[in-house]
A = this chain, B = another copy of it.
Amino acid sequence: MASIVEEFNVYRSKMNEKMLVDNNKIVKRIFNLDTNAFTAGTLPKKTKELLGLGNSMVLRCDDCVRYHLEECHKLGLSKEEVVEAMSISLLIGGTIVIPHLRRAYEYWEALEAQV
């Protein structure tokens, strides 16, 4: 069951590497900013990851949702907290968000199934 997590991460790492090797300045800096943006600032890291998750959900980006679900899981956020954040995105983004919510539930389950 945990294999969708592994599969996603293997593909993600492999392709990110190819993109960074290319040395395009904009791509490199955006990647860099992406790492910086989710470190603790005035807002705690947990809030920032929930923001990343919520934003990704209304924009309906499955891979972005997966990435932030994984970070939320690592930080020890509970399923209830994560679902509450996503339910706000469902209300704001409408029922077209539902298919992405289904896939998010599946991914969260896979994260929990990992040892």
Residues of A within 8 A of B (CB): 11-12, 15-16, 18-19, 22, 24-27, 29-30, 33-34, 36-38, 41-43, 47-48, 50-52, 54-64, 78-81, 83-85, 87-99, 101-103, 105-106, 109
Report whether B83 and A27 are in contact in the complex, using a CB–CB cutoff of 8 Å.
yes
Cα separation A106 to B15 with both chains bound (whole Å) = 7
The copy count of this chain in the complex is 6
Tell me the interface secondary structure of chain A in the complex: helix
* Complex contacts, A48 vs chain B, CB 8 Å: 84, 88
A95 in contact with B106 (CB, 8 Å): no
Known contacts: A84-B42, A88-B52, A105-B15. The answer to whether A61 contacts B27 by CB under 8 A is no
